[in-house]
Amino acid sequence: MSANFSASRRRFAGSFLDSFLLIDMNTNGASENLPGGKASGAATPVSGTVADVRARIGTLRRRQHGARVSLVPTMGFFHEGHLNLMRAARNESDFVVVSIFVNPIQFAPTEDLAAYPRDLGRDLAMGSAVGVNLFFVPPDEEIYPQGFDTKIEVGRVAEGLCAETRPGHFQGVATVVAKLFNIVRPDKAYFGQKDAQQAAVIKQMTEDLNFGIEIRVCPTVREADGLAMSSRNTYLNSEERSQAGVLYQSLSEARTAVAAGETSASRLRRMIKKAIAANYMVDLEYVRIVDPGTMEPVAAVDRPALAAVAAKVGRARLIDNEMLIPPGGTDAQDRS
């Protein structure tokens, strides 16, 4: 196993889950400690093992022919953006599985794995309230057992943008999502538009590896000032929070300019940079104008394109994006 899987992390994962020991009987009548029963205070079953998830979904499919199963992969600490994905899944399927797993292999050693916000009890209550049927909350060693040595490399769509400063990130994302797809075997899986490059990576992997799963990308959910909702927004102090909204404001200015006839990607990038530069607490990482499917840069917005930004604001690394639609154009990106 990688050095990323330190003993302290394994102890953390164990103690984190042990605080929610399951007290009921599972659907097969076996007494449980973690997998398969109901967590204290939760209305929805919680599973911690691959075997239990597969058994439950297998039973569902045998009992309910044609049952539609959806998966919402998350790292927890839910906000309205997560809940929006769950509601969409609830409206379009018979059985909704939500995974809660802070995936260690998508974090670099210098990133915020240990500090990433977590509140399992709150997540279970929020997910139950919107109709989730099963939570999958595995410890690290259930997903990456001793001897695990396989990773998925998704080509060009995983290059540039966030990959420039987060090497290995999308490899980690693709690997864990591929595992979740094989564990749950859903008909549909739901992701947020805020993480546009991640969604493109998952779409590419799903198509290339013939998973046969429909990937649904739902619109970004925003705060009142336009800031994209993110679990990492909790890192922001009040002054940082007041300046972070410029990310969406600058993207909105670019969208308006394109609607008025601007086509030069370089001028649009300069426009966005200038707006962000007026906020001294926002440390810009990149501004890109790219094809929304391939994530490759474009020189002119003569067809729908994606404006994407990343910046550090205090401790938080924030990302956002907005579709740019030229006059007479339509949003060619699959937002269904």
Catalytic residue numbers?
82
Is-contact 229 241, C-beta < 8 A? no
How far apart (Å, rounded) are the C-alpha atoms in residues 31 and 41? Answer: 18
How far apart (Å, rounded) are the C-alpha atoms in residues 250 and 310? Answer: 12
Closest CA to 31 of 18, 43, 22, 42: 22
Is-contact 196 306, C-beta < 8 A? yes
Is-contact 150 182, C-beta < 8 A? no
Interhelix angle 120-129/80-92, rounded to 10 degrees, is: 40
**Alpha-helix runs per DSSP H in 224-333:** 238-244, 246-259, 265-277
Closest CA to 129 of 80, 94, 93: 80
How far apart (Å, rounded) are the C-alpha atoms in residues 26 and 36? Answer: 5
